[in-house]
Amino acid sequence: MKILGIETSCDETAAAVVEDGARILSNQIASQVEIHARYGGVVPEVASRQHILSIIPIIKQAMAEAGVSWSELSGIAVTVGPGLAGSLLVGVNAAKAIALAHGLPVIGVNHLEGHIYANWLDGQSIDFPVVCLIVSGGHSDLVLMRGHGDYVVLGRTRDDAAGEAFDKAARILELGYPGGPAIEQAARGGVATIQLPRAWLKGSSDFSFSGVKTALLRLVEAEKVSSVADGAASFQEAVVDVLVTKTLTLAKERRVRQILLAGGVAANELLRKRLVENSPVPVLVPKPVFCTDNAAMIAACGYYRLKSGKTNGLDLDVVPSLKLV
């Protein structure tokens, strides 16, 4: 089964064709990062206008790269939320128009579920139950997954998401946008010598990252940060320490077979390395290009929904504050 995936929840216009939920036939992304960089973050109105310009060319490129015709597709999977309403609308309406024109089923996909399904791409084999750590610009969730579409959210952030914290720390250190890759890059030249607090929230699998960010700000204001590189390395160390410790604790408690990493922050090398090195069970990590927003993960998730008969009608609408469960 070949599925066309469409993703427009934030600032990437993406389309991909994936076969049987794993084999990538094409993966196209039109990034708006340079457009938003001058504002230091995503401007929703600018993002939706840019999606309108990019969506048709990107879908055409994905179909051409895959070398498939509309009649060879089994369905169109599209992100319905969570995300920016105006951005989501562009993808959902494109998907519905194509579905209507070619008599194909449309499958609404939760963006967070899509991030998890990036782990199915390229044929990695998954053994349930698993614990998923989803760390993106808007979410830091620890989820127990017992089967396809079967989730229990066991922990989430009480304030900033991990990616949001990286973005804010980068702003404090004047490293620019997007913050995660900038912090990671700067940290390579530094040492984690600055003591920053960790919010362990004992007895809970929740996260909190606003304290570590404020602590960094206070130290920068007091000129107590030896160098930008050391500040970046220390911040990255503090965030990764909490993410890894809490994920491993939950994995042991729940006796899961694997740990899955997902979301933009999963592209972080230190996070990937620490989890892999310290986990008693196998850790699956998507390739960095499938950690950040892409449409292949949406197509992969759409395949499993279609297989279980969960398609939508042409009344499908966006749900900007959609939850995983």
Choose the binding region for ligand KG4 from 67-75, 121-129, 133-141, 311-319 (rule: CB under 6 A).
Answer: 133-141
| Contacted entry of ligand KG4, Zn ion, none for residue 114, CB cut-off 5 to 8 Å set by kind | none
Find the shortest distance in angstroms from Cβ 35 to Zn ion: 18
- Which is nearer to ligand KG4, 105 or 151 (by Cβ)? 151
Angle at 290 between CA 163 and CA 34, to 5 degrees: 60
Residues 177-216 that bind ligand KG4 (CB under 6 A): 178-181, 184
Q: How many CA atoms lie within 13 A of 60 on its CB side?
A: 5
Q: Applying CB under 6 A, which of residues 87, 136, 205, 311 lies at the interface with ligand KG4? A: 136
Tokens at 58, concatenated: 């990107």
Shortest CB 202 distance to ligand KG4, Å: 26
**What span, in angstroms and rounded, lies between the C-alpha atoms of 276 and 269?**
11
Residues binding ligand KG4: number (CB under 6 A):
20
Going by C-beta distance under 8 Å and a sequence separation of 6 or more, which residues neighbour residue 203? Answer: none
**Per rule CB under 6 A, is residue 293 in the interface with ligand KG4?**
yes
Segment 253 to 272, residues that bind ligand KG4, using CB under 6 A:
263-265, 267-268
Of the candidates 166, 207, 235, 304, which one interacts with ligand KG4 according to CB under 6 A? 166
Q: Report CA 278 to chain centroid distance, whole Å.
A: 23
Min dist CB 192 to Zn ion, Å, is 27
The CA distance from 98 to 255, in Å, is 44
Strands 140-147 and 150-156: antiparallel
Task: Write the DSSP assignment of 29-42 as a string of letters.
Answer: EEE-HHHHHTTTS-
Q: How far is the CB of 277 from ligand KG4 (least distance, A)?
A: 17
Binding site for Zn ion (CB under 5 A): 136, 293
Q: Residue ranges of the alpha helices (H) in 139-295? A: 162-172, 179-187, 210-221, 228-253, 269-278, 288-291
Distance of closest approach, residue 56 Cβ to ligand KG4, in angstroms: 23
Give least dist CB 215 to ligand KG4, A: 18
Measured between alpha carbons, how far is 182 from 227 in angstroms, rounded to an integer? 15
| From Zn ion, ligand KG4, none, interface partner of 82 (C-beta below 5 to 8 A by class) | none
Using omega within 30 degrees of 0 as the cis cutoff, is the peptide bond preceding 197 cis? no
Whichever of 77 and 267 has its CB closer to ligand KG4, that residue is 267
> Residue 237 binds what, of Zn ion, ligand KG4, none (CB under 5 to 8 Å, by partner type)?
none
Exactly one of 75, 86, 137, 302 binds ligand KG4 (CB under 6 A); that residue is 137
Q: Are strands 73-81 and 2-7 parallel, antiparallel or unpaired?
A: parallel
Q: How far is the CB of 18 from ligand KG4 (least distance, A)?
A: 18
- Give the other-Cβ count within 10 Å of 243's Cβ: 25
Binding site for ligand KG4 (CB under 6 A): 10, 136-138, 163-164, 166-167, 178-181, 184, 263-265, 267-268, 292-293
